[in-house]
């Protein structure tokens, strides 16, 4: 076997470690869901990390998804899928820094419902257009320009930076803000 993607292998090993941790500390049906979900993704990622065919297939699917998002959302394609996550983060920030009142609870519920509604709509809208393209035989024929490739790479870089910052803040919260630890 040849190592095709070290990143995929690393992510797969982290996923496997998470699954083993969940199996050791099994605590009900919710843990079973996470074991199956993360286990499936870890096996898929391991296959893409060790198989050139699986890696190429994943790259091609990601490329076609970028083309589809570009066609559907134009200049907002880079952030269209991030809106529910941003709404969830904003809701969590409001819940942490504001005193809980009846009005704030209504705002938080509204923001959570908006995030869930947008996420469901986005999945439905994108999958409908993907099915249409597959039915017409247009799936797999789109190409991105070099400028669009650069923009997607820049978007990926910013996503990685923001994810890293969020992970650091979450770690600090769980270490210093968690009442169980203090």
Residue 71 lies in a domain: no
pLDDT given for residue 109 in this prediction: 93
pTM (whole model) above 0.75: no
Residue 74 lies in a domain: no
Residue 26 lies in a domain: yes
Mean pLDDT of 134-158: 86
Residue 162 lies in a domain: no
Residue 147 lies in a domain: no
Q: What range defines the domain where residue 14 resides?
A: 1-50
Judged against a pLDDT cut of 60, whether residue 51 lies above it is answered with yes
pLDDT-based confidence at residue 181 (cuts at 50, 70, 90) = low
pLDDT in tens, 112-136: 999 999 999 999 999 999 999 889 8
Residue 43 lies in a domain: yes
- For the beta carbon of residue 144, count every other beta carbon within 10 angstroms: 15
Residue 180 lies in a domain: no
> How many domains does the chain contain in total?
1
Residue 3 lies in a domain: yes
């Amino acid at each position: 076997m040849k190592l095709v993607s070290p990143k995929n292998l690393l992510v797969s090993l982290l996923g496997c470690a998470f699954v083993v941790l969940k199996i050791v500390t099994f605590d009900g049906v919710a843990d079973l869901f996470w074991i199956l979900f993360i286990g499936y993704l870890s096996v898929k990622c391991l296959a893409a990390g060790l198989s050139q065919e699986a890696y190429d297939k994943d790259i091609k699917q990601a490329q076609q998804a970028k083309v589809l998002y570009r066609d559907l959302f134009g200049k907002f394609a880079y952030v269209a899928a991030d809106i529910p996550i941003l709404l969830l983060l904003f809701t969590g920030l409001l819940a942490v820094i504001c005193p809980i009142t009846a009005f704030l609870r209504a705002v938080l519920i509204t923001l959570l419902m908006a995030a869930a509604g947008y996420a469901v709509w986005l999945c439905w809208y994108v999958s409908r257009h993907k099915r249409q393209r597959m039915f017409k035989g247009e799936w797999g024929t789109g190409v991105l320009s070099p400028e669009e490739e650069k923009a997607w790479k820049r978007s990926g870089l910013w996503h990685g930076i923001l994810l890293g910052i969020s992970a650091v803040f979450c770690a600090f919260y769980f270490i210093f803000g968690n009442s169980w630890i203090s």
